[in-house]
Chain A
Amino acid sequence: MQILKSLGGALMVLLGVAALSYGATAGTLDVVKQRGAVVCAVNTGLAGFSMPDKQGNYQGLDADTCRAIAAAVFGDATKVKFVPSTAEQRFTLLQTGEVDVLTRNTTWTLLREAENGFDFAPVTYYDGQGFMVPVKSGIKSAKELNGATICVQPGTTTELNLADYFRANHLTYKPLVIEKLDEVENAYFSGRCDAYTTDRSGLAATRAAKAPNPADHVILPEIISKEPLAPAVRHGDDEWFDIVRWTVFAMIGAEEKGVTKANVDEMLKSDDPEIKRMLGVTPGMGKALHLDDKFAYNIIKQVGNYGEIFERNVGKDSALKLDRGINKLWTKGGLMYAMPFR
């Protein structure tokens, strides 16, 4: 009898575990609301995108995108939890439901959507892959890198673009593949590799934040890939996908309409019908997303519009000093374009 009892007990435990594993597929918005925080996977430390400051708070473009989602859902940008993740861990974190959204400088590709089960929200940074070399190597072009040892992180489109580029140009190289960003940067700065390759924003971030002397390193002119960096959510939860997508559009749309963190309260009195709809003066937009009608107002008030977020984290007000380039608004010759709020 004792044996049967303990077997029964074990069975109950097993069933309990199984029930838990089914829970992961419930609606993400409900899960997020119940938990009281949005959980975002971010980079373990990439200056300008997501990097802890001296107080241990994550700062950067990706971190702010996560805060904007929290502002949209809760009206409170501080209701976020960041999960630092390596390039290799990030997809599993999202697939298993440990995080609600990936705001971790992730490139939008066909297979990641169609095969890995993700949906990508609008692009928050149009990037491209490049190479960084020491100035004293005298290298002026990536075509001169034949036979070089190149530091690269695994599990990234970077690793594939690198192989493609060298194959296309009939050049050879020796990869040194290290998962952790700090270690791969160390390997490059200690001279173990002749060049370091990643997205050019990442190169600028590494150079600004980690190089003993930033002027000793130069980013080569070649851009060997398109890297549209976008937030990603799990396939099949359209309600949550819409929220993340329109959070990004709200940030871009606000910049289009000249709505800023500073003037958003004045803009509530604007006569522009689209601004009225966006800020919830004319109700309906937020409700349609199952959010508060003030969702965009909260994003702009607490986090800012896209231009402000860009300049603060990676642009002229940051250490990276990256040019807006193709990340300008479409009205100024860039690619940033918000769908209409109606």
Chain B
Amino acid sequence: MTPAGAAASPAPARTRVAPWRDERIRAIAIQVLTVALILGFAAYLAGNAAENLRRQGIATGFAFLGREASFAVSPTLIPFSPADTYARALLVGLLNTLLVASLGIVFATMLGFVVGIARLSSNWLVSRLTLAYVEVMRNTPLILQIFLWWDVLRVGAPQPRDAWHFLPHVFISNRGVVFPVPFYDPVYLWMLAALAAGAGAAYLLRLWARQRLARTGERPQTAWPGLTLVTLPPILVFIAGGAPLRLDLPQVTRFDFSGGQSITPEFAALLFALVAYSGAFIGEIVRSGIQSVSRGQSEAAQALGLSRGQTLRLVVLPQAIRVIVPPTTSEYLSLTKNSSLAVAIGFPELFSVSNTIANQTGQAIEVMVIVASTYLVISLAISLAMNLYNRWTALVER
């Protein structure tokens, strides 16, 4: 009850409140009205756009997705030729986005933790250098950094015919890095399965060690057995499968190289820039997380005889992670969305490919709706995963 409402409703209203004076009814009515207004305005805009498109003779709808794309994309994760459809072109772009975003998130997290811990180093040089790094990265535009990386990789490296050739069959030139990869063999799938099984066994070993620690106070040595459990099964499967290792070797062609796997300068520039940029932000998040853990915790840990590394790993970081996870989630989201800046240097991720499609078909609105909702789904998926992780690491209050 607001004071104004109470003052305005005299005694009779106590027994039977008129509907327009009832706080609850009024609140609901205003909300319904607001939603109706917003929906109405959206419908009006959509209708207006449709009407204008119709009046100008612009075709609408999503039928264009099934038509032949007639343009090429490179590099791609799945085979794509100009004879494929626009829908597949979008998929190619999406996969490139997911690739650069997932690698970016993994490396930016690793870099961020190193930077965040180094920022708090007692070594003056280390902490100052990381401070300079963080400030430079945070205070310059990302697009500039992408161009800088691209220029370095493109202009710094030699022409393909003069490619650097330190390792056998590995070529570094302004076309990127080309290196051999093994041809696919069914045994590799079994190796993957063996790896998963080994990892599962290692996890069980860890659980057992924890229980034993809790029960007896003994800390069993699990590092070496665990590592063996993870690495040995795939190696055994590989040998048992006849050690299939036929390499797809890069060949020098008239222009550059064929065969092998290549990483283009555009992909590398984008990935480096995203990792270096987001790494600085995550570094600051990690630093703030560590500093949020009270000094008494580390002092107590050291008093118990834990080393500095153990203190960080067993006492400080598990508490800091609760502070770190939520802001890091938004950092992951920006990294994913920032990958669309690749359009400037010609790496064919989702936004770049959809730009081309929007222009070739003239269906700008439809394509932008598809792209916006795709980014939305990716972002929501990342948020969901991080929220689950957050719940898992959150303090269990007793």
Which A residues are closer than 8 A to B by beta carbons? Answer: 3, 7, 10-11, 14, 18, 21-22, 24-25, 87-88, 91-92, 95, 111-112, 114-117, 144, 146-149, 154-156, 159-160, 162-164, 166-167, 173-180, 183-184, 187, 190-192, 194, 234-236
Contact = CB atoms under 8 A, between A and B. Distances in A.
A236 B55 contact: yes
5 contacts: A3-B30, A116-B58, A163-B71, A178-B344, A191-B174
Interface in B38-79: 41, 44-45, 48, 52-53, 55-59, 70-75
A179 B343 contact: yes
B266 interface: yes
A111 B75 CA distance: 28
B355 A88 contact: yes
Interface in B321-356: 343-346, 348, 352, 355-356
Contact of B83 (A156, A162, A167): A167
B372 interface: no
B24 to A, nearest CB: 15
Interface stretch (B115-123, B201-209, B304-312, B357-365): B357-365
Given A147-B254, A147-B256, A179 B355 contact: yes
A247 B59 CA distance: 29
A164 B58 contact: no
Contact of A160 (B71, B343, B344): B71
A234 B258 CA distance: 46
Contacts of A92: 364
Contacts of B30: 3
A213 to B, nearest CB: 17
A7 B37 contact: yes
Contacts of A235: 56-57
A146 B258 CA distance: 11
A194 B255 CA distance: 7
Nearest to A151: B346
Nearest to A144: B254
A112 B355 CA distance: 16
Interface string B64-101: 00000011111100000111000000000000000000
Contact of A87 (B83, B345, B359): B359
Contacts of A159: 71, 356, 360
Contacts of B82: 163-164, 167
Nearest to B345: A178
Contacts of B159: 191
A111 B348 CA distance: 25
B267 to A, nearest CB: 12
A182 B32 CA distance: 52
A95 B37 CA distance: 28
B55 A173 contact: no
Contact of A21 (B48, B58, B255): B48
Contact of B256 (A87, A88, A149): A149
A177 B48 contact: no
B216 interface: no
Contacts of B346: 176-178, 183-184, 187
Contacts of B74: 174-176
A112 B72 contact: no
Interface string B266-277: 100000000000
Contacts of B15: none
B362 A7 contact: no
A112 B362 contact: yes
Those 7 A-B pairs whose CB atoms lie nearest each other, nearest first: A155-B359, A116-B362, A117-B56, A163-B82, A178-B346, A174-B74, A117-B58
B154 interface: yes
B344 A192 contact: no
- Among B33, B71, B360, the most chain A Cβ lie within 10 Å of the Cβ of B71
A259 to B, nearest CB: 36
A192 B253 CA distance: 15
Given A7-B33, A147-B256, A177 B57 contact: no
B362 A111 contact: yes
B48 A95 contact: no
A163 to B, nearest CB: 4
A8 to B, nearest CB: 11
B211 to A, nearest CB: 56
A163 B56 contact: no
Contact of A149 (B37, B175, B358): B175
A86 to B, nearest CB: 10
